[in-house]
Chain A
Amino acid sequence: MATTLFYILALVAVISTLLCITRRNPVHAVIFLVHTLFALALIFYLLGAPLVAVWEVIIYAGAIMVLFMFIIMMLELAPTGAGEGIGGHHWLSVLLLSLAILGCSVGILTLDPGHSANLPDFYATPAQFGYALFHHYPLAVELVSFQLLFAAVGAFYVGRSTPTREGAP
């Protein structure tokens, strides 16, 4: 059952990502990316990470994608004009490069004898997760909090309403 679910969700993730990167309208791209994130969150749950799955939905789909949507609507980027297409002249070279990398990586993956090892049944309760996080990585948690603070200060500095020019007070 879980195996079938995994393959369905993987298909959903790949198809919605494909639709996401080919949309002309960035709002539609963000909506398809949210579909990808939901599918990935369910895959995380199947892989035994319920807390990461929930945070994927809350933080990624709930906060970050809403931030994207907010900026797109604030800058009135949708719908883009005719001159701002999806950049057709690069797609062929990008497709060839991606297929080459995909082929080489699949080759390496099949050479590796460990690739067919089945994932064991694993489930980390939020209590185990929280204990591991705060018991083994307390310094990293503090560093992440500093990182978020610096990001907030940096975003405030870059996005302030009157950019100062050179020589201006």
Chain B
Amino acid sequence: MIVPIGHVLLLALILLLLGIACVLARRTLIMMLIGVEIMINAAGLVAVAGSALHRQLDGQILAVFLMAMTAAEVAISLAMVVYLRRRKGTIIADAFDGMKG
């Protein structure tokens, strides 16, 4: 594939920034989790691109470990979303200010 590595990195960068924007600007916990998903996918794209650039398989293995980590993270996070919804009746992040942070 004749694509400069810079273009792949640029795509990953744009996806990462969109994920950060989603986490920062959205107010519900579900959409913040979706932003985290987008960011992890951007990181996986960089890992796979590095794997192709250096002709080593370690990047692809890192991407697979990222997937496993995401599965674990999503399981716990969604369980916490259900728990918080049960406690406060909402999933808007502003509602969880009990520690007066």
A interface list, Cβ under 8 A from B: 2-3, 6-7, 10, 13-14, 17-18, 20-21, 26, 29-30, 33, 36-37, 40, 43-44, 46-49, 51-52, 55-56, 59-60, 63-64, 67-68, 71-72, 74-75, 77, 80, 84-87, 90-91, 94-95, 97-98, 101-102, 105-106, 109-110, 112, 114-122, 124, 128-129, 132-133, 136-137, 140, 144, 147-148, 150-152, 154-156, 158-159, 163
Contact = CB atoms under 8 A, between A and B. Distances in A.
Contacts of A40: 41, 44-45
Interface in B1-52: 1-11, 13-15, 17-22, 24-28, 30-31, 33-35, 37-38, 41, 44-45, 48-49, 51-52
Given A98-B17, A119-B52, A120-B53, A64 B37 contact: yes
Nearest to B85: A75
B30 A68 contact: yes
Interface size class of B (residues with CB under 8 A): 35 or more
Contact of A21 (B6, B22, B51, B72): B22
Contacts, number: 237
Interface in B53-83: 53, 55, 57-58, 60-61, 63-65, 67-76, 78-83
6 contacts: A60-B37, A63-B71, A68-B78, A129-B61, A132-B57, A151-B73
B38 to A, nearest CB: 6
A13 B53 contact: no
B72 to A, nearest CB: 3
A120 B37 contact: no
Helix, strand, loop or mixed for chain A's interface?
helix
A140 B65 contact: yes
B30 A3 contact: no
Contact of A150 (B3, B34, B72): B72
